[in-house]
Structure 1
């Protein structure tokens, strides 16, 4: 087997471990009504619990970028996998809001470590195809987002709310064994300088993640995160509590968001081939329309919720997530790739930690429809405007160089 083919299959193994990450992330929202009832929580409290793991992800993002300069990427990915799997397992034994929030927060720390390491591995080794490498992570997230809600609902139907957390937590052992057996350091630890010969000039790219271009994209990512995790955190609760859907029906509707995320590879290819900032603007407008409609009831039609969940997932996860993650990395020089990975993770997940609480509070004051439209559609529109500003800034830089 030649080296590139071996590298491809090792990356596939890492992507399979990320499926476990995605399953863990998607599980809680489907079980939220049952957790709320068992632990006696309010809607804003369970909304916070549904998304607080993203605070752990966000806070760990930039520090993990620095950790990657001190520790092997493979080691960071493994450590992250162990942390979030153990925390998912322990969630089954939560007895109240404090320990529930702790386990959810710690799971986010582990997930950020794994995601940041995998982004750094993929975008460094496959430097000519960074958007495709980054979007492949979201593609596998889509697979986990399809499996997680449906498998979680099935286990819930057969047992009780704790068992899905136990099963999903233990599944990390399989992913850990595969990484230890098959992923070699020559692939995971390759340095950007080794890949530089065939690459275009870095003229015009930022020296630091704190420069204007990566910062504008980071702020756009913040608003996109509020839209994504408002939906992921409480949309299943909306379906069950407001529209009377069963857990299986809610899980099925949400899983089609995951099917939409499977468009990530296509979205990454488009972002590598064309101006990813303009692609982001179009996809964010589509996200605003489809995401807002999801909270209008759609005549309580399961089929319509499936269709628009797919459209929303395809736009905001398949196109937006893929190109924001790669776009921040593309906006800086290769030497800052690991830091840019951490910036993306921090920008997406710190605000997202409060997305469920914000949507729950908006719902209690204005009702489900207004809350969903304001947060999911409104934040998508703000992110779209910011991507236009990033595109305009890039054009000004190009004219100045000319």
Structure 2
């Protein structure tokens, strides 16, 4: 993203003043890096969970709640941030949110038990949720008609963070002979990242407003419901709930499944998780397709593909190579395609002045579900083993999502150019 031609072209009518392409490229690159660090920050917890569990004596259900429960803070803060970013400086909100989740990360290794570690995880999730709402709202406004493609760059950064988090964090923990070391590393890097955003991101970019197009027809958004709470946001909201249950149900306990059920070594499990991050980097393609074709049908097809991959992952395939391939595919579908297009489809279901609120609705529905996905998956494991849990939560549930999307009315969404 250092060369200007790879950055999506911003909508000229949506900017307040002019901004040089180089400044757009640098600012957008730093914002993407901040989101990559966000992913690294949260992803490093999962492969280290067996060591944390052993150190504190946590049960599998407690471990599942710790793995994904932080997203409850992410969901609530992300939803409330939707109202904030429609009214206040997105740049200031992003900087503050990065500092909050970094301080939460620094506190995790200081925990003495389940309750305070849960509190630190939720505090970190609050910062991550606010950052996500502000960041995706910025992208939705500055790159108005190419928002899904631009969001794809954010998705690529997230996938890079999923890949790099375990690859950096696990060896770093081993080198210091403690699971605590990576949390100090990533927390410190977050403070540095907040300073970089302060210096490099222009307010011309961060505070852009999505304006009307070049014709009267484009300026008329009366075909989009006046309320942010409408039939399409309801249907996409249910799809977001299912997406959160699937992706975080997978990521939260997948390393534990590989190590305790399939007998993989810690390094092998870390590689498998990292490959899901590489898969998530197809978000750029997912966003491009989301700008070109109906997101209703794109998401429905992705749910079906996710269902098939999850069935193979938890029921059929037990080989190392097979799990590597399936982890890549799960990352591509459940993160690259579902996250990118659920988020931007929700934005397209509301009028431009409500873009923050639309993103907040996505955060609420997606991450509240994600918060409980780990403990639900753990309970399903207790009731019906790993294969049954994978079947119900990761195979059958996505098919429900595909059916629900049939209620979406594309004619009531913001039109593509």
How high is the TM-score relative to the length of structure 1?
0.94
1:208 to 227, 236, 261: 227
Matched with 1:373 is 391
Structure 2 distance, partners of 1:240, 1:41, is: 16
| Contact 1:217–1:387, Cα closer than 8 Å, also in 2 | yes
| Contact 1:11–1:122, Cα closer than 8 Å, also in 2 | no
Q: What SS class does the counterpart of residue 192 from structure 1 fall into? A: coil
Matched with 1:143 is 160
Question: Does 225-234 or 208-217 show the bigger shift?
Answer: 208-217
Shift of 1:297: 5.8
User: Within 5 Å, which residues of 2 pair with 1:51-200?
Assistant: 51-159=68-176, 160-193=178-211, 196-197=213-214, 199=218
Matched with 2:343 is 325
User: Within 5 Å, which residues of 2 pair with 1:1-80?
Assistant: 3-80=20-97
Shift of 1:203: 4.1
Q: What SS class does the counterpart of residue 148 from structure 2 fall into? A: helix
Matched with 1:307 is 325
Q: What SS class does the counterpart of residue 103 from structure 2 fall into? A: helix
| Contact 1:206–1:213, Cα closer than 8 Å, also in 2 | no
Matched, 1:352 2:370: yes
Unaligned 5+ residue runs, structure 1? Answer: none
User: Within 5 Å, which residues of 2 pair with 1:275-290?
Assistant: 275-290=294-309
Q: What SS class does the counterpart of residue 295 from structure 1 fall into? A: helix
Matched with 1:394 is 410
Structure 1 distance, partners of 2:222, 2:86, is: 24
Shift of 1:185: 0.9
Matched, 1:248 2:267: yes
Shift of 1:11: 1.3
Shift of 1:69: 3.1
Shift of 1:389: 2.1
Q: What value does the CA root-mean-square deviation take over the aligned residues? A: 1.6
| Contact 1:224–1:379, Cα closer than 8 Å, also in 2 | no
Aligned residues: 393
Q: Give CA-to-partner distance per residue, 1:179-219, whole Å, 9 cap, x none.
A: 111111111011123x6436564242122221111111011
Q: What SS class does the counterpart of residue 135 from structure 2 fall into? A: helix
Runs of 4+ in 1 over 6 A off after TM superposition: none
| Contact 1:131–1:322, Cα closer than 8 Å, also in 2 | yes
Question: Does 359-368 or 67-76 show the bigger shift?
Answer: 67-76
Q: Give CA-to-partner distance per residue, 1:114-166, whole Å, 9 cap, x none.
A: 11110011110111201112222211100000000111111122221111111
Q: Give CA-to-partner distance per residue, 1:335-372, whole Å, 9 cap, x none.
A: 11010011111111011101100011111111011011
Structure 1 distance, partners of 2:315, 2:129, is: 33
Matched with 2:239 is 220
Distance change >3 Å, CA 196–CA 5, structure 1 → 2: farther
Structure 1 distance, partners of 2:248, 2:404, is: 19
Shift of 1:6: 2.1
Unaligned 5+ residue runs, structure 2? Answer: 5-18
